[in-house]
Amino acid sequence: MAYFDAASAAPLHPVARQALLASLDEGWADPARLYREGRKARLLLDAAREAVAEAVGCRADEVVFTSSGTRAVHSGVSGVLAGRRRVGRHLIVSSVEHSSVLHSAEAHEAAGGTVTRVPVDRSGAVDPSVYAAALREDTALACLQSANHEVGTVQPVAEVAEACRAAGVPLLVDAAQSLGWGPVAGDWSLLAASAHKWGGPSGVGLLVVRKGVRFAPQGPADERESGRAPGFENIPAIVAAAASLRAVRAEADAEAVRLRGLTDRIRARVPELVPDVEVVGEPERRLPGIVTFSCLYVDGEALLHELDREGFSVSSGSSCTSSTLTPSHVLRAMGVLSEGNVRVSLPPGTVSEEVDAFLEVLPRVVAGVREKLGAPSAAVVRQDDALVLDALGKLCPLPVIELAKVIGEVPVGGTVRVLADDAAARQDIPAWCEMRGQEYLGEEPAEQGTAYVVRRTG
């Protein structure tokens, strides 16, 4: 049994647990009150703020404790957009941000603002020069994650921050995935993070707003947390968050080396052990604990289910519409296969034997799911000298499975038109072509669904 989904939530660090327990008795009162219990609570809150500021590399009065990382992002984005409204209403985000950033961008568009979504390369990284080119006269705010939550790719934050600084545009960095590993380099203006990602408790997010950033908190007024995070402060959890951040940082360098060794092994071994698999994300500039791969001809939900039965907890950004999973906008933006997607994110302390066991189980599980999906017969017709594969009504991953079966019947240089009405085909057929060295010619509207045209090159 192994929990390999630290990028969603890390188990509570022992130091967080101790700090939480210790402060339940000292930190429950209202820190705004003048009496003894209130002063004790205030001391704990102030000490936690100092500790977090030191770990982030900022001033204590720049740190606001929110109730989650999502709230930190929502408040940070809306506060700067309102504070800099005179400058303009243009917002820049990368196309692989966390949903909290992308949903903030959608809300901004719904309110009449404009948004540029900076694309990423096949590894999931933005190009700093492409990002810089998106900066405009009327840009109120730019957002970039420190590292991607689905594939682990580290973003060029320092370079982008420099371009933003030169343009006079504040950069908000979503550091949720990386803050436990170290401070964010570069001259950023705002930072958001979430304690439960580094082994702190649920219920604590961080919003850091550098002095000098124009910021107008949105929503009803509230005097807590410099007016930037309404509601009674959750001091025991805040104390636990601060204590565990210090603790994980003390172990971070050694643990990073160790986990990187384990994820390197997964990156190398999975393609050797499992046929038709693509490891995605930047191989070098990446977080230590995350490795992501996609398996052709597999339904992501079935794969998670079977891995769970074998005792492994992983997540998936599979776009298979036959499952209840949320399709991954990250994998789509990268243009890589999302079919049968698995994200392994190792919590600190993961031992080598757990990774060995996973690598032993994985090939059998993938083979089993593939076998269960079977080999449904496709209606293949020849039409004007081109093969037509009718996969209408078939859900991901079946269209790709059928394509793989008929490609051998296509003469080299000839084409096959895959008719499909499952939206996932739009992403997975081109990704399959890329993996198999076949040529993807594009899509055309068909009488029903869409025709995806593939030329056999070998």
Q: Which is the catalytic residue, given 58, 143, 320, 396?
A: 320
Q: 164 catalytic, yes or no?
A: no
Q: Which is nearer to a copy of itself, 45 or 132 (CB)?
A: 45
Q: Which is nearer to a copy of itself, 45 or 55 (CB)?
A: 45
Distances (CA, A) of 44 to 57, 231, 333: 20, 17, 43
Tokens 């030329």 belong to residue: 455
Q: How many CA atoms lie within 13 A of 317 on its CB side?
A: 31
Q: Which is nearer to a copy of itself, 298 or 389 (CB)?
A: 298
Q: Which is nearer to a copy of itself, 234 or 319 (CB)?
A: 234
305 Cβ neighbours under 8 A, 6+ residues apart: none
What span, in angstroms and rounded, lies between the C-alpha atoms of 330 and 95? 7
DSSP 449: S
31 Cβ neighbours under 8 A, 6+ residues apart: 38, 41, 42, 44, 45, 233, 235
Instruction: Give φ, ψ of 379 to 5 degrees.
Output: -80, 110
DSSP 452: E
Task: Tell me how far, at minimum, the Cβ of 224 lies from a copy of itself, in Å.
Answer: 8
Task: Tell me how far, at minimum, the Cβ of 3 lies from a copy of itself, in Å.
Answer: 6
Q: Which residues bind a copy of itself (CB under 8 A)?
A: 1, 3, 5, 8-12, 17, 20-21, 24-25, 28-30, 33-38, 67-71, 74, 77-78, 99-100, 103-104, 106-107, 194, 196, 201-203, 205, 219-222, 224, 230-237, 301, 304-305, 307-308, 312-315, 324
What span, in angstroms and rounded, lies between the C-alpha atoms of 16 and 454? 54
Task: Tell me how far, at minimum, the Cβ of 68 lies from a copy of itself, in Å.
Answer: 3
Distances (CA, A) of 326 to 89, 196, 283, 301: 30, 21, 25, 10
- Crossing angle of helices 235-273 and 14-24, in 10° steps, is 160
Task: Tell me how far, at minimum, the Cβ of 11 lies from a copy of itself, in Å.
Answer: 6
Task: Tell me how far, at minimum, the Cβ of 237 lies from a copy of itself, in Å.
Answer: 6
Task: Tell me how far, at minimum, the Cβ of 39 lies from a copy of itself, in Å.
Answer: 9
Q: Which is nearer to a copy of itself, 13 or 417 (CB)?
A: 13
Q: Which is nearer to a copy of itself, 327 or 399 (CB)?
A: 327
Q: What is the DSSP string of 235-300?
A: HHHHHHHHHHHHHHHHHHHHHHHHHHHHHHHHHHHHHHHSSSEEEES-SSSB-TTEEEEEETT--H
Which is it for the CA torsion 76, 77, 78, 81, positive or negative? positive
Cβ neighbour number for residue 307 with a 10 Å cutoff? 23
Q: Which is nearer to a copy of itself, 317 or 430 (CB)?
A: 317
CB 97 within 8 A of CB 116: no
Task: Tell me how far, at minimum, the Cβ of 248 lies from a copy of itself, in Å.
Answer: 15
Helix (H) or strand (E) holding 46: helix 36-56
Question: Which residues are part of the catalytic machinery?
Answer: 320
